[in-house]
Chain A
Amino acid sequence: MGTEMTEDEFDILAAKVLAGEATADEATRLQEALAQDAELRAEFAELRATWAALKDVGPLAQALNTPPAEPPPERLRKWHAAVARKRKHEEVDFAQVGAPVRKKLRVSQLCLAAAFLATAIIAGVFLSHRSSGTATSAPIAYLVARKDTVEVRRDGKATAVKSVTTLCVADEIRLSPQASATLITPNGARPLQGPQEFVNVQVLSSAAAATNGTETKSRAAGTALFQPSRQLLGLLVTMRSGQSIPVFSSVVVSGLPFSAILRRYRPSLARVRPGHALVNSTGDTTPARRKGAAVENSSMIDKS
């Protein structure tokens, strides 16, 4: 604040100048004060911006405080009709995508299985396509460790380390002195303790076989973890026909085939629209219980 102008004087002059009601002398007085004081200039600039905002939208902001009032009945009917039309329009859009598949699903279990198989084939192609870019797409092991205690090198370069890191044939790992990790291989799990300098993963994996020697208890899990993506087609189809894996609604089957294969939903928590239903892998349906139900975050089987 300028030493030659009190706050009260500045307030009065600023209010008059902003309103365009200042005399020539008052305007000059404020101008001189602003020229001498950068802080005052900044303050005046902000008051000017606030004044402009108030002039523009102050009445609208004030309108927001208008108390609720009953609208005319004919207007109410019109708006409710607009809401209904909008809801119906959205449902029609939804139905247009999913109807053909839903219709087929109702016809027979055979059609259901065919739809699943077709979707699985598409997903298989998708997964195969995804993995084609890397020659070493089949994981040889998984490393479970705190990411700041482990370094993984691939083709001589450090790669990103996550809490669970997928390892390929030529990868090397280095464990810091405090590192404590677990290597999961097709032959079993092997505990690792730091410090260890850049050990070849294939060697470690073989060593796990030699020391552990036990077969993986779950062949299905082993297949899921270690088979190349392109060989997972059968597994995916198998999973879909299991009782415990629900299948998302038909819109996903028809519109987003990969999601239908890769995501798991709990039917009781999935978001379904009124008038629609979840269809599980045995063809049973779960009608939507209420509108806008909470959605369960999906878990994803993703081998990337």
Chain B
Amino acid sequence: MHDPTKSTPQDFPDLGALKAGDEAAWQAAFWHLWPIALRAAQNPQARLEDAEAEDVASEAIEILISKIEQVTSFDHAEALVSVIASRRAISHARSNSAAKRPPPNNRDFALAEIPAVSSTNMTDIDLCEMIVLLRRAFDVLDVSTRLMLLEKTGDGLTYNQISKKHGVPLGTVCTNVARGLKKVRAHLQESPLLMKELREYLR
């Protein structure tokens, strides 16, 4: 008897086949989705143990399976699983923190220290759309600009740290980051509603 868990992914999974419950399509999808979900679950803000992050990633994939009818493309499926995994990682961290919370006068890890996945309170649909647009934007950035942008906005390194790491002047780092930011903005403007929503939230 054919064991679908033994085969390896051939092509990019077909969404129609996934919705029809095709095992081979799902097998290919799992190879794509697993590392994405795992990386999202390893959100540094959540600080989960490796085993916990694996559990969270696995749960995220199970949730995606149940929501597959709502997904419009495989890009969207990947974005959705990353959002679910990230949200669940934060939620898991909050539960851990609440369970371990010491008396108020002696705690060093407050709940408020754990931010939500998105400070903009966007819906999952908007978030997925933004993730897909950002991914496309990253594809057109040169490697060093993309790295600097992510080190600055994602990892929280200072410009000085990035300057030393890459061996370039501070002004060059700032210019690269600003120009990378403009290119990303150009991609986000493909969805004017999303951009408007962001601007209004930040007003």
Interface residues, chain A, with chain B CB atoms under 8 Å away: 8, 10-12, 14-16, 18-19, 21, 45-73, 75-80, 82-84, 86-87, 90, 291-292
B79 neighbours in A (Cβ, 8 Å)? 60-61, 64
The answer to whether B32 and A291 have CB atoms under 8 Å apart is: no
The answer to whether A50 and B62 have CB atoms under 8 Å apart is: no
Bound complex: CA A19 to CA B149 (Å): 11
CB distance from A29 to the nearest CB of B (A): 14
| CB-defined A-B contacts under 8 Å, sample of 13 | A15-B159, A48-B202, A52-B120, A54-B153, A58-B134, A58-B153, A62-B138, A62-B154, A64-B36, A66-B35, A67-B35, A79-B65, A86-B66
Bound complex: CA A75 to CA B5 (Å): 10
Known: A62-B154, A291-B20. A54 touches B134 (CB 8 A): yes
Q: Specify the chain B residue showing the minimal Cβ separation from A69.
A: B35
Interface core residue of B17, B32, B82 (most chain A CB under 10 Å): B82
Bound complex: CA A289 to CA B66 (Å): 25
- Report B129-165 residues with CB < 8 Å from chain A CB: 130-132, 134-135, 137-138, 149-150, 152-154, 158-159
Other-chain residue from B35, B152, B199 in contact with A46 (beta carbon distance below 8 A): B199
The answer to whether B175 and A8 have CB atoms under 8 Å apart is: yes
Known: A53-B188, A63-B82. A82 touches B65 (CB 8 A): yes
Q: Specify the chain A residue showing the minimal Cβ separation from B200.
A: A49
- Report B160-203 residues with CB < 8 Å from chain A CB: 171, 174-175, 177-179, 181-182, 184-185, 188-189, 195, 198-199, 201-202
Interface residues, chain B, with chain A CB atoms under 8 Å away: 4-5, 8-9, 16-17, 19-23, 26-27, 30-32, 34-36, 39-40, 43, 54, 58, 61-62, 65-66, 75, 78-79, 82-83, 86, 117-120, 127, 130-132, 134-135, 137-138, 149-150, 152-154, 158-159, 171, 174-175, 177-179, 181-182, 184-185, 188-189, 195, 198-199, 201-202
B26 neighbours in A (Cβ, 8 Å)? 79-80, 83
Known: A12-B175, A52-B119, A57-B127. A68 touches B9 (CB 8 A): yes
The answer to whether B31 and A70 have CB atoms under 8 Å apart is: yes
A52 neighbours in B (Cβ, 8 Å)? 119-120, 198, 201-202
B9 neighbours in A (Cβ, 8 Å)? 68
Other-chain residue from A15, A59, A76, A83 in contact with B178 (beta carbon distance below 8 A): A15
The answer to whether B30 and A59 have CB atoms under 8 Å apart is: no
The answer to whether B195 and A46 have CB atoms under 8 Å apart is: yes
CB distance from B149 to the nearest CB of A (A): 7
The answer to whether A87 and B154 have CB atoms under 8 Å apart is: no
Q: Specify the chain B residue showing the minimal Cβ separation from A89.
A: B66
The answer to whether A12 and B5 have CB atoms under 8 Å apart is: no
* Shortest 8 CB-CB contacts between residues of A and residues of B: A11-B178, A61-B134, A87-B21, A292-B20, A71-B34, A49-B198, A63-B39, A15-B174
B153 neighbours in A (Cβ, 8 Å)? 51, 54-55, 58
The answer to whether B30 and A57 have CB atoms under 8 Å apart is: no
Bound complex: CA A76 to CA B181 (Å): 39
B8 neighbours in A (Cβ, 8 Å)? 70
Q: Specify the chain A residue showing the minimal Cβ separation from B63.
A: A82
CB distance from B115 to the nearest CB of A (A): 9
Bound complex: CA A53 to CA B182 (Å): 13
Bound complex: CA A72 to CA B38 (Å): 12
A19 neighbours in B (Cβ, 8 Å)? 152, 158-159, 177
The answer to whether A15 and B195 have CB atoms under 8 Å apart is: no
B174 neighbours in A (Cβ, 8 Å)? 11-12, 15-16
Interface core residue of A60, A78, A84 (most chain B CB under 10 Å): A60
CB distance from B127 to the nearest CB of A (A): 6
Interface core residue of B17, B34, B83 (most chain A CB under 10 Å): B34
B201 neighbours in A (Cβ, 8 Å)? 52
Bound complex: CA A54 to CA B9 (Å): 31
The answer to whether B131 and A86 have CB atoms under 8 Å apart is: no
Q: Specify the chain B residue showing the minimal Cβ separation from A62.
A: B150
Known: A61-B134, A65-B138, A75-B34. A56 touches B23 (CB 8 A): no
Bound complex: CA A54 to CA B134 (Å): 8
Q: A58-B154, A79-B58 are in contact. List 4 more A-B contacts (CB 8 A).
A: A53-B134, A56-B119, A58-B149, A71-B30
The answer to whether A83 and B21 have CB atoms under 8 Å apart is: yes
Bound complex: CA A101 to CA B190 (Å): 51
Other-chain residue from B83, B130, B150, B181 in contact with A47 (beta carbon distance below 8 A): B181
The answer to whether B119 and A68 have CB atoms under 8 Å apart is: no
Q: Specify the chain A residue showing the minimal Cβ separation from B155.
A: A59
Bound complex: CA A277 to CA B63 (Å): 30
CB distance from A86 to the nearest CB of B (A): 6
Other-chain residue from B4, B134, B154 in contact with A80 (beta carbon distance below 8 A): B4
